[in-house]
Amino acid sequence: MKTELSQAELSLQFEYMKRVRELLAQRYDHPPLAHVHSYGCQANVAEGERIQGMLAQMGYGFTDSPDDADFILYNTCAIRKGAEDRVFGNVGALQHNKRRRPDMIIALCGCMTQQEQVAARMKRSYPHVDLVFGTHAIHRFPQMVHEVLSSQKRVFHIEETENIIAEGLPIRRDGDFKAWIPIMYGCDNFCTYCIVPYVKGRERSRRPGPILNEVRELAAKGYREFTLLGQNVNSYGKGLDEPVSFASLLRKINEIEGDFRVRFMTSHPKDCTHELIDAIAECDKLCKHIHLPVQCGSDRILKQMNRHYTLQQYRELIDYARKKIPGVSFTSDIIVGFPGETYKDFCETLALIREVEYDSLYTFIYSPREGTRAAQMEDPMPGEEKSRWFQELLETQEQIGIRHNEARVGKVLRVLAEGEAKNKSGWLTGHADNSSIVNFPADQDLIGSFVPVRITRALNWAVEGEPVL
């Protein structure tokens, strides 16, 4: 399977970036501004950074305000209906921007637009949108922008092409000490509730070489945190000319020189191996935290979800990790109200989260997605009932989270100072290696460095402490 973008195609896109720059120089007497917003997961944010990189090469500056922008791009998310509704609302509101500034360009891309029915709705009902392309066409973005600018026509590009990996395109990162590093794209798992395999295409891995180079370059520039991204990082490396395991990629990254830490997501329990857990235990730069989404605590529902593991296997992994990695913390994703789920099934989920004692949970009410298998299943449970379960889940986890935070009082945690704390002047906030949120009083100069913090107080969702300097 050919997956990498050819040198010829890459050069062609650089040529289009140059041509767009020339067109823009004729059109504007100042550098035009772009506003890029990525909805949804970190993989989308990372794609948004690549789009920004290409826009920068085309001569665009950047603005946080859509009202000042000559080019607005929304990189969309389709994971739940709520995410899509938000995008439809925000895109609708852009018609006012277009009226005020008719020569501006409005573009949409990402998981929502890869779905034919969504692209058709954009074409029909949102005439102010100039450019719509799916997840398979990102590497042709410069060519599409050129087409919009030179033809003055609306451009739609959503057909599925080969599942390409594009190395060598420019990147404009949002942060200067934390970086997202996609290591693979797509998903082959087809969990029955999930739209991702339909919109992001087949699973494919980047070669280790370009990944290691990216980390090496950024580490040399002083980056402090890398988060490796993939829908199922545990199956990284399959299908490469020289197959390599995720654990061995982690070990290679760990050898790179520099004062940085490494996170990764998402780990699918069905492919989580002892080899991987051993690597986490042995590599000093890896955070001792595993995001291991269980989704549900009922074997019956896990089967319906097509998750390919049992609770017994899941518990075995947690036990093994606890034995090998002292102090390891876990987080998880939970879906409440999958079709056919009963209160009894849900109580098994509650029992599991009490047993595992996750540090925190990402919790979702099941949202039917057109085209998935679960969307065809009988779903008789009323929404209000699911909302009650959801509330019960939040309350249960809140108690667990508070207990964990209280147990941290008196301990010293290494925290990456990430920015100013909200509503507390003179305070900074950041994540500890175990992924707890830590607030502490400190000078802004420390933003971007690791700070040891002695924890003095537990809050519901965070802890407070004093720097130990």
How big is the site for ligand 5AD, counted in residues (CB under 6 A)?
A: 12
Contact at 8 Å (CB) between 42 and 229? yes
190 near ligand SF4, judged by CB under 6 A: yes
Chain centroid to Cα 281, Å, comes to 24
Q: Which is nearer to ligand 5AD, 194 or 415 (CB)?
A: 194
| Axis-axis angle for helices 383-408, 343-356 (nearest 10) | 10
Which string of x and - marks every residue 160-199 that binds ligand 5AD (by CB under 6 A)? Answer: ---------------------------------xx-----
Q: How crowded is residue 376: how many other Cβ atoms within 10 Å of its Cβ?
A: 11
Q: Nearest 5°: phi and psi at 408?
A: -85, -15
Stretch that binds ligand SF4, among 39-47, 187-195, 417-425, 449-457 (CB under 6 A): 187-195
Residue 56 Cβ, how far from ligand 5AD at the closest point, in Å?
Answer: 30
- Cα distance between residue 137 and residue 232, in whole Å: 22
- In whole angstroms, the minimum distance from the beta carbon of 173 to ligand 5AD comes to 23
**Under DSSP, is residue 150 helix (H, G, I), strand (E, B) or coil?**
helix
Q: Is 191 annotated as a binding residue?
A: yes
Compute the half-sphere exposure of residue 429: CA atoms within 13 Å on the CB side of its CA.
11
Residue with tokens 């051993």: 278
**Can you read off the two tokens belonging to residue 96?**
């006012």
**Which stretch of DSSP H or E encloses residue 184?**
strand 184-185
- The rounded distance, in Å, linking the Cα atoms of 92 and 86 is 10
Answer yes or no whether residue 363 interacts with ligand SF4 by CB under 6 A: no
- Is 78 a residue that touches ligand SF4 (CB under 6 A)? no
332 lies in the site for ligand SF4, by CB under 6 A: no
> Does 196 participate in binding ligand SF4 (rule CB under 6 A)?
yes
Q: Which does 369 bind (CB under 5 to 8 A by kind): ligand 5AD, ligand SF4, none?
A: ligand 5AD
What is the pattern of x (binds ligand 5AD, CB under 6 A) and - over residues 55-74? --------------------
Distance CA 127, CA 381 (A): 39
CA distance 398 to 378: 31
- Residue 86 CB burial class (10 angstroms; 0-12, 13-18, ≥19): middle
The yes or no reply on residue 307 touching ligand 5AD (CB under 6 A) is: no
347 marked as part of a ligand binding site: no
| 194 marked ligand binding residue | yes
Partner in contact with 267, chosen from ligand 5AD, ligand SF4, none, beta carbon below 5 to 8 Å by kind: none
265 belongs to the binding site for ligand SF4 (CB under 6 A): no
**DSSP string across 60-113:** -EE-S-GGG-SEEEEEE--SSHHHHHHHHHHHHHHHHHHHH-TT-EEEEEETTT
DSSP state of 153: S
Binding partner of residue 187 among ligand SF4, ligand 5AD, none, CB cut-off 5 to 8 Å per kind: ligand SF4
Number of residues that bind ligand SF4 (CB under 6 A): 10
Of residues 80 and 431, the one with the C-beta less far from ligand 5AD: 80
Measured CA to CA, the distance from residue 282 to residue 98 in angstroms comes to 55
Out of 157, 268, 369, 408, the only residue in the binding site for ligand 5AD (CB under 6 A) is 369
Establish if 187 lies at the interface with ligand SF4 (CB under 6 A).
yes
CA-only gyration radius of the chain, Å: 23
141-151 and 42-57 helices, crossing angle to 10°: 50
Q: What is d(CA 325, CA 308) in angstroms, rounded to the nearest whole number?
A: 25
Q: Which residues pair with 106 in a beta bridge?
A: 72
Q: Would you count residue 352 as binding ligand 5AD (CB under 6 A)?
A: no
In whole angstroms, give the CA distance from residue 136 to residue 116. Answer: 13
- State the minimum distance, in angstroms, from the CB of residue 245 to ligand SF4: 18
Of 227, 232, 234, 360, the one binding ligand SF4 by CB under 6 A = 232
The only residue of 333, 379, 398, 420 in contact with ligand 5AD, by rule CB under 6 A = 333
> Residue from 16, 71, 264, 366 that binds ligand 5AD (CB under 6 A)?
366
Nearer to ligand 5AD by C-beta: 333 or 420? Answer: 333
The answer to the question of residue 358 lying near ligand 5AD (CB under 6 A) is no
Binding residues for [4Fe-4S] cluster: 41, 77, 111, 187, 191, 194
- Cite the annotated binding site by residue number: 41, 77, 111, 187, 191, 194
Q: Which residues bind ligand SF4 (CB under 6 A)?
A: 187, 189-191, 194, 196-197, 231-232, 268
| Interface residue list for ligand 5AD (CB under 6 A) | 79-80, 193-194, 293, 295, 333, 335, 364, 366-367, 369
